[in-house]
Each structure stands twice: as structure tokens, then as C-alpha cells.
Amino acid sequence: MPTINKYLFLFVGGCLLMLNSCSTKDDYVSVPVSPVVVDLTQVPYPKLSDYKFFEGELKNMSPAYGVLPYKPTSELFTDYAEKKRFVWIPNGLKASYQGDAKILDLPVGSAVIKMFYYNHVVPNNTTRIVETRLMIRKETGWIFAEYVWNSEQTEAYLQNQGSQTAISWTDESNNLRSINYKIPSTVTDCKRCHGLNNGSRFPLGIKPQNLNSNFNFSEGSKNQLNKWIEYGYLENNLPSQIVSVVDYKDTSKSLDLRVRSYFDANCSHCHVDGGEADVFDLRFGFDKTTDPANMGVGVPAQHYLAGYNGRIVQPGNVGQSILFYRVQTETDNFYMMPALGRTIKHDMGVQLIQDWINSL
């Protein structure tokens, strides 16, 4: 009897092991791997598709696994172009927090992707992607890569020299707009906004203050900073409170916060120590504009403009505010601000600045 029990025990035990083995196999879940290819010895590649950032048809801009979409709370204006932005970070690496108003420190091998496109393009009411800009971080720093889309919308090709392309579309008010869209040169243009006089280069928009807002990801709406952490793209050491910009389109927010957020998105990267506009005593970063003088309020201008009394911003008087002239002109290339990235004025932005000046 003891012997029979012994064999019975071994038989039952063996069956349980087999069942457990089968159960483990059936429950196995494969871990997805990002198809993205960013070989730092080979980039920039000749074609956008070479990176494998997107799945399916390239023009659908559907991010592949590991490519995370994001959107700054307040966006830079570029001649009314629509934009989609993505970030990719190599497996096992994370960005680090450096301050609310400072660019997240992305690790070597990271890529930031920005698509520029127009909807309702005439004559066929189609979507046209014009360009895709990349910034890739190498050991020696960030590099630029500019890709221009073909007319078939099947591929985008590397282009270092700037160019222009005519485009017409109907806007949200059903007005026909036409521009000669300027595609930047990676040799001369990109560094003007994305660089300092010391030669350093950096992305724009990926500051905690600009990402502390919800975004509609494929699985639902979530705070973007939390998503980056959950996705393994950001160290989980953020402060409990982040001083953040607001959406300048949100009229429920104060005029002061809206205009400061607008200036941060459109002006701060040049008006910074070592930036292209460092010669002017203005600082448009959201963390700097708690002082109205940094936005030019009551400050004497460093240049002469006929018919103006010499104030950058004359409180309550747009007709004597040189800043207002600069953001609304479409023909005076010497005074037009921003100096790069627009050929026509931003109606909403101009109205916002006008309302702000009149409120002072």
C-alpha cells in the first residue's frame, strides 16, 4: 500500500506539472518591440520612411509602437499650418526633469518629430502634408533633418536647403487663404530658433510647463507628463506642483495668462540669453513675464519707427506700441516678428495682443 501511494503521488504530481506547464505557455504574452530605426552613425536617412516611425500608409501619420504623440498646451503659430508632434526614446532610457520652464533632457538617441500639414486644400478639399522636421540627439548634440513630402503624399525626402511651395486652403471660417509656404533650411534657418550663439541646439515645446495638460491618446485622455512617466519615457521625480502655461485660445483664462502663454510659445526661444534676439531687453519665457517690463511694457525701444513715440508697449495704446506693429505687419520684413516661421499675421494672436495692450 505505501508503494502504491508513492506511485500515485508521483503520477498526480507529474500531471499537475504538465498542466502548469501548459497553462504557462498559454498565458504567455509577447512584449512588443519598437520597429523604429535610429542608427546614429547613419542619420539623417534619405527618406522619412527609413526611420519606421509610422505604421501603415505614411501619410496617415499613425505612430508605430514606441512613438509617443504629444501637444504643447499653447502652440507656436506657423502660417496656420496644422501640426502633429511625436517623440521617440531608445528602449530603457528616460528623459529627466530640469525645471518647469526648461526643456526635458532627452537621452542620446532620442528623436523629436513634427509634421506640418493643411486640411481643406483646394481645389479638391484634401489634406496635404508639406514637411516633417526631425531633431535627433547624437553624442555631440542635437542635429536637424528636414523632409519634404512629394505631391503623391507617399514619401518625404531629405532636403537641407530651404524652399518654397504655394498652397491654398479654406480656413475654419470658410475663407480662402493662399501663401507661399517657406520650408526652412537646416543650414541657416533651424538654428535661429533652436539654438544659441554658443552653438548649442535644442528642441522647443517639451517643457514640463507646456506638457502639464491632457491629451487624447489612443487609449483615452491623460495628463501628458503622467503618460510619459507611465510609458517609461520620463523619470518619476516631478515636483508636486508645476507652474504651467495655459491654452491661449481658452477665453475662460485671464488675459494676462493667455498673452504670456502666447509669448512663451512664439517668442521666448529667441528672446533668451544667447539667443538670436538677445540684443533686445525682452524675456518672453512664461517664468519671466510675471514682470511686465520683460514684455516691453513702458520700455523704450532700441530702434526707431516713424510715427511712434519709442515705446515697445505703450499701455492702453496699440497705435503707439511698436511690439503691436511688429506682430501685425505682413509686409515690413525688417520689423516683422517673429522674423521666421510666418509670412502672414496670426489673426487670433494679433487680437489677443491688442486686447492685452488696451487693458493695461
- CA 40-41-47 angle, 5° bins: 75
Same domain, 289 and 197: no
| Residue whose entry in the numeric block shows the C-alpha cell 501637444 | 71
Q: Which domain holds residue 265?
A: 255-359
Residue 354: φ, ψ to 5°: -60, -45
- Domain assignment of residue 241, yes or no: no
- Domain assignment of residue 187, yes or no: yes
Same domain, 137 and 61: yes
Tell me which residues of the chain have a pLDDT lower than 50.
1-25
Same domain, 79 and 224: yes
d(CA 11, CA 5): 10
Same domain, 125 and 185: yes
Instruction: Give strand pairing partners of 282.
Output: none
d(CA 224, CA 72): 9
- Domain assignment of residue 41, yes or no: no
Instruction: Please name the residues in contact with 135: beta carbons below 8 A apart, sequence gap of 6 or more.
Output: 111, 112, 142, 143, 144, 145, 194, 201, 203
Same domain, 213 and 266: no
d(CA 222, CA 239): 18
Same domain, 55 and 186: yes
- Domain assignment of residue 210, yes or no: yes
User: Is there a cis peptide before residue 44, judged by omega within 30 degrees of 0?
Assistant: yes
Same domain, 260 and 217: no
Dihedral Cα 51, 54, 55, 59, nearest 10 deg: -120
What are the distances in angstroms from CA 358 to CA 18, 299, 317, 329, 335? 80, 16, 6, 18, 21
Same domain, 260 and 326: yes
Q: Considering 230, 247, 276, which residue would you say is the last residue of a domain?
A: 230
Same domain, 225 and 262: no
- Domain assignment of residue 2, yes or no: no
Same domain, 219 and 271: no
Domains: count for the chain: 2
pLDDT of residue 303: 83
Same domain, 70 and 147: yes
- Domain assignment of residue 28, yes or no: no
pLDDT of residue 280: 85
- Domain assignment of residue 237, yes or no: no
For the segment 242-267, what is each residue's pLDDT rounded down to a tens digit?
999 999 999 999 999 999 999 999 99
Same domain, 223 and 266: no
- Domain assignment of residue 153, yes or no: yes
Run of H or E residues at 164: strand 163-170
